[in-house]
Amino acid sequence: MERVSLARRAANLSPTVDASGHSSGIGFDSGHGFPGIFPDLTSSAVRALNEYRAETLQYAERPGMPELRAWIAEYLNSAGATVGADEILVVNGAKHGIELICRTLLDPGDAIVVTAPTYFTAVPLFRSFEVDFIEVGQDDEGLDTDELAVTLDRWVRSGRKPPKFVYNVPEFHNPTGLTMSRHRRQALLALAHQYGTWILEDSPYREIRFEGAPEPSLLALDDQRCVLHVGTFSKLIAPGIRIGWVVGPVEMLARMMQLKSDGGSSPLLQRMIFEWLNQGNLPGHIDLARGAYQAHRDCMVAALHRDLPEIAFKTPGGGYYVWLTLPGGIDGDELARRAADKGVLVIPGSKFYAGSSGGFPNNEGHPRNRLRLTYSYPTEEQINEGVKRLGAVLRSMRN
């Protein structure tokens, strides 16, 4: 991996590299992919638009393109799952999959379990279904299943219905970067079985691994069919592809299909990505993505040690994010505002807490001194410059 050449590739892709609205600042705030590694899909597109024109410009089959569904099943099964193509629904990205699951399962007043903190943009989506949140903490082994067991016991003893699902990002969690241990995964599956609760496994970062061996997915460990698994090509290949998938029971997918108002996810995008995958491009691209994001992570970690020695964080073993604990008196929201004034966009930790309902758990409120930084999108030059500015902002707040 030559960093210089990647940076140059990104620069060559201007002038639209900043079309996302980041032109005015250094973007440590988004889950955008690094433009320097976006693949060349031209030949797949040409093939899709010519050889397959009558398919790709027509209405699509509602569940998704059969060959793509089979490819996704095989991809998951090669990592230990045992799913059939008929258990795959193609959707317009992971969030679309989460929304369809919510629309299928949730009624107003239902409870769901989320980690504290949890994936930022899922919170308003969940909230729009008028759910009660049950928050559960995390430690170095990921979601704290001992705490969850106690909370669920109290919840059910108080006469309430068990939560409809436990939502989690088990690998390289957004925002904390934590990964669930094997033991915790098994404990979570046991709890789900005990309470008749679904697990919503959202796993966009699984392949963006820099170190160590992967744990089996919750889907692969699930022998009770209580896992609804959401995947996407967005974080692995490119967000613009807008193709993801849901794995679930056939009868539940049938209901989701009825709720899909898109006339079937784009057949052109499905055929394009299938042709690209089918040509064997994925393994090489995973290497490229891992190398690039690891370089970005290394750059950001080094910059944090250099320019923000007073903050604490755990170096993420994969994914896009690093989760900072600021010195005690520093308010993350205030720091984010001041950083924006200096052209550095970050998201304060406060945005990542759903807020618990009915005293579960009865916490003292969420910490105010957290901050999420993304290293996926910015160049290494921007990472160095942005962290340097953050250091100056932090010092200005301590004086």
Task: State yes or no: residue 203 binds a copy of itself (CB under 8 A).
Answer: no
Q: Which residue from 258, 279, 363, 396 is in contact with a copy of itself, where contact means CB under 8 A?
A: 258
Q: Which is closer to a copy of itself, CB of 45 or CB of 221?
A: 45
What would the DSSP string read from start to end of 317-356?
SBSSEEEEE--TT--HHHHHHHHHHTTEE-EEGGGG----
Q: Which residue from 78, 159, 213, 261 is in contact with a copy of itself, where contact means CB under 8 A?
A: 261
Q: Which is closer to a copy of itself, CB of 62 or CB of 368?
A: 62
Matching residue, tokens 């903050």 = 311
Task: Classify residue 364 by its DSSP letter.
Answer: S
Q: Which is closer to a copy of itself, CB of 137 or CB of 239?
A: 239
Task: State yes or no: residue 375 binds a copy of itself (CB under 8 A).
Answer: no
Q: Which is closer to a copy of itself, CB of 41 or CB of 304?
A: 41
**Can you say whether residue 368 is alpha, beta or left, with left for phi > 0 and alpha for psi between -120 and 50 degrees?**
alpha
- For 50, 264, 266, 291, the CA distances from 57, given in Å and listed in that order, are 10, 12, 9, 36
Within 66-105, the residues that bind a copy of itself by CB under 8 A are: 92-93, 95-96, 98-99
Q: Which is closer to a copy of itself, CB of 46 or CB of 312?
A: 46
Min separation Cβ 351 and a copy of itself, Å:
15
Distance in angstroms between the alpha carbons of the first and the last residue of the chain:
41
Q: Which is closer to a copy of itself, CB of 113 or CB of 122?
A: 122
Q: How many CB atoms lie within 10 A of CB 361?
A: 16
Task: State yes or no: residue 128 binds a copy of itself (CB under 8 A).
Answer: yes
d(CA 176, CA 93): 22
Within 209-248, the residues that bind a copy of itself by CB under 8 A are: 234, 238-242
In terms of Cβ atoms closer than 10 Å to its own Cβ (0-12, 13-18, 19+), residue 70 is: middle
Are the beta carbons of 208 and 231 closer than 8 angstroms? no
Q: Sign of torsion, CA 182 321 239 279? A: negative
Q: Which residue from 262, 310, 341, 381 is in contact with a copy of itself, where contact means CB under 8 A?
A: 262
Within 17-46, the residues that bind a copy of itself by CB under 8 A are: 17, 19-21, 30-33, 35, 38-42, 45-46
Min separation Cβ 311 and a copy of itself, Å:
28
Task: State yes or no: residue 151 binds a copy of itself (CB under 8 A).
Answer: no
Are the beta carbons of 228 and 249 closer than 8 angstroms? no
Q: Retrieve residue 258's tokens.
A: 């009825």
Positions in the binding site for a copy of itself (CB under 8 A): 10, 13-14, 16-17, 19-21, 30-33, 35, 38-42, 45-46, 49-50, 52-61, 92-93, 95-96, 98-99, 124-125, 128, 234, 238-242, 258-259, 261-263, 265-269
